[in-house]
Structure 1
Amino acid sequence: MGKITFYEERNFQGRSYECQSDCSDMTPNLNSSQSCRVESGCFMVYDRPNYMGNQIFLRSGEYSDNMSFGTSGSFRSCRQIPQHRGSFRIKIYEKENFGGKGMNTKMGRIIFYEDNNFQGCSYETSSDCAELTSYLSRCNSCRVESGCFMVYERPNYMGHQTLARRGEYPDNQHLMGMSMSDCIRSCRMIPTHKGQFRMRMYERENFRGQMNELLDDCDSIQDRFCMSDCQSAHLHSSHSSVQRTNQIQIMTMGKIIFYEDRNFQGSQYETSSDCPELTSYLTRCHSCKVESGSFMVYDRPNYMGNQYFMKRGEYSDYMSMMGMSDCIRSCRTIPMHSGSYKMRIYERENFGGQMNEMNEDCTNIQERYRMSDCQSCNVMDGNWLMYEQPNFRGKMMYMRPGEYKSFREMGMNGQRFMSMKRIMDSCN
């Protein structure tokens, strides 16, 4: 059963009322309701009694101020949403009283599993899910039983995304572009589209520069349209008699080209995504060009060993330029981030000892925070680089959003980090 607790005042203050079922009128229990906590399950809440007025969908979480939903008053009634395990199907009609043209709509269905090979606890959905950790502690395999979904490595549809069509994915490596260390954190259902496809793409942001219209697939915009980049787009989609237009901004993908020999000679390999093993494409790698974005490169496969930050530029002999003693063996793209930066650093492993929160670069944690060491951290926003010496010197480590309970267990045994820097070059 679901469980929701309503509070008379904001920030969970004042008298409270706990409910595990439908409630047509909450005023006998509370004079008003300005905040609530959904401890389990999902609910629809209404700003008028008897399930009338504006309605809002609430899933598990804390809602400290009802005004954040745009409502002018307090919640007056609520309905629990029962859990559904089967398939989803709805028939919609053009007119009232089931008149006019009718259409059956069958929803997609995906099942997530905690462990590889469809083991452990599971969670099934036919709709968008912004935070899978509300249902599973992790997600390492999935089955798409019908329809298509986009899955993301971060909550709220952020981070690397992968198309999952009907089929079985026994581990995340079978999902293109996802490494074995990544879990699925959110997903979006892709609605069925029966009409035509049409998109206008633009060379620059805000729909400027060269424009071309697409009605079908395009394997290379450079070959077909002589466009070197696409930074904004205008999507048109036609569903029966309903015309809908969406405008989106495209975040430019990074692009790096690796060469077997120095000075960009020999065989080459180009990528815009993570690559855990470059030797699958090149026998060696001694130079590279970063044409857009930023990348972390590693001197061992699977993102192990010494790591180096590369922003846009040419590296004709990076072993001498960057002091590397070996060839690049793997690489990771650094996703573009335009929001705020936030990271908590801890003196000891497992988030123990002194804690400090950072929103900007720090040249020396010992001088600023009186911290002699940093052994774990929680990166909440943005991408960061951590350095073993003050003033951003020495060996570095790339930290993207996530919890890092022990640097020692990550292969950084005996290494200290004394300065931290935000990565703000990923869009160059």
Structure 2
Amino acid sequence: MSPPPAPAPHSRATMTHRCRRSSGLWKIVAWDEPFFQGKKHEFTTDCYSTAEHGFSTVRSCKIESGAWAGFEHCGFQGQQFVLERGEYPCWEAWSGSNAYHVERMCSFRPITCADHGRSRLMLFEQENFQGRRGELTDDCPSLPALGWGSSAVGSFLILSGAWVCSQYPGYRGFQYLLESDSHAGEYKHVREWGSHAQTGQVQSIRRVQQ
């Protein structure tokens, strides 16, 4: 009896992980090597840890549908990356505008509430929705240019959609993803913006593209 055929190299395999909620609305294709080389996986649902799927980190990816949140560490921890439809051939493509370069992305999930056409937030100067306040329904590349007198924001109320806040004007520096379906849309203090949030400095805000 002839031996069974050898399996295809694991680096060539495509593993598909589907979303039980509504498959097809979100899809990311991830590789463990830059420029879409190496092991390939397709996801339509959360990936808590790339290690659980046989690779240590994402080194390139394509967003085929929906918007996704990527994270530096497993368990949706660490620096955040907002990934919208398009190609990301290397880590610089999603990390280049951050305050420090992060060469790994070990977990990711869909941004299910992104609604670019109907997004609204309120921002407050102090924690717990106190002090001066403002409202946005459109992208703002510079809060100082808009007349926001402080370099920091104390709290946010996300009324609809998903927003990404950046440390500096022009959407540069650390990013914080704020969603209307997380924390009931209430971000009362900096500690709720993400595990990497250490300062309330926010000087530009934009809507997440779905």
Q: TM-score, length-normalised on structure 2?
A: 0.62
Q: Which has the higher strand share?
A: 1
Q: Secondary structure at the match of 1:175?
A: helix
- Alignment of structure 1 residues 52-71 onto 2, 5 Å: none
The residue that corresponds to 2:128 in the other structure is 206
The structure having more radius of gyration, on CA atoms, is: 1
Q: Is the 8 A contact 1:89 1:107 kept in 2?
A: no
Q: Secondary structure at the match of 2:135?
A: strand
Using a 3 Å threshold, how does the CA distance of structure 1 residues 186 and 88 change in structure 2: closer, same or farther?
Answer: closer
Q: What is the rounded CA distance, in whole Å, between the counterparts of 2:116 and 2:37 in structure 1? A: 36
TM-aligned CA deviation for residue 128 of structure 1: 2.1
Q: Which runs of 5+ in 2 are unaligned?
A: 1-14, 162-179, 202-210
Q: Is the 8 A contact 1:195 1:237 kept in 2?
A: no
Q: Deviations over 1:372-416 (max 9, x none)?
A: xxxxxxxxxxxxxxxxxxxxxxxxxxxxxxxxxxxxxxxxxxxxx
Q: Secondary structure at the match of 1:213?
A: strand
Match of 1:237 among 160, 184, 187: 160
Q: What is the rounded CA distance, in whole Å, between the counterparts of 1:202 and 1:119 in structure 2? A: 45
The residue that corresponds to 1:20 in the other structure is none
Match of 1:176 among 89, 95, 100: 95
Match of 2:186 among 247, 254, 265: 247
Identity value in percent: 27
Q: What is the rounded CA distance, in whole Å, between the counterparts of 2:70 and 2:116 in structure 1? A: 23
Q: Is the 8 A contact 1:89 1:106 kept in 2?
A: no
Q: Is the 8 A contact 2:17 2:45 kept in 1?
A: no
Q: Secondary structure at the match of 1:85?
A: strand
The residue that corresponds to 1:124 in the other structure is 42
Is 1:148 matched with 2:67? yes
Q: What is the rounded CA distance, in whole Å, between the counterparts of 1:221 and 1:427 in structure 2? A: 13
Q: Which runs of 5+ in 1 are unaligned?
A: 1-83, 92-104, 253-334, 338-425
Q: Is the 8 A contact 1:203 1:227 kept in 2?
A: no
Q: Deviations over 1:46-71 (max 9, x none)?
A: xxxxxxxxxxxxxxxxxxxxxxxxxx
- Alignment of structure 1 residues 35-114 onto 2, 5 Å: 85=16, 106-114=24-32
Q: Is the 8 A contact 2:123 2:135 kept in 1?
A: yes
Counterpart residue type for residue 159 of structure 1: G
Q: What is the rounded CA distance, in whole Å, between the counterparts of 1:181 and 1:197 in structure 2? A: 29
The residue that corresponds to 2:110 in the other structure is 189
TM-aligned CA deviation for residue 153 of structure 1: 1.0
- Alignment of structure 1 residues 371-390 onto 2, 5 Å: none
TM-aligned CA deviation for residue 174 of structure 1: 1.3
The residue that corresponds to 1:379 in the other structure is none
TM-aligned CA deviation for residue 86 of structure 1: 7.7
Q: What is the rounded CA distance, in whole Å, between the counterparts of 2:130 and 2:33 in structure 1? A: 46
TM-aligned CA deviation for residue 154 of structure 1: 1.5
Number of residue pairs the alignment of both structures matches: 158
TM-aligned CA deviation for residue 124 of structure 1: 1.7
Using a 3 Å threshold, how does the CA distance of structure 1 residues 219 and 108 change in structure 2: closer, same or farther?
Answer: same
Match of 1:162 among 81, 84, 92: 81
TM-aligned CA deviation for residue 176 of structure 1: 3.5
TM-aligned CA deviation for residue 193 of structure 1: 2.7
The residue that corresponds to 1:115 in the other structure is 33
Q: What is the rounded CA distance, in whole Å, between the counterparts of 1:165 and 1:186 in structure 2? A: 16
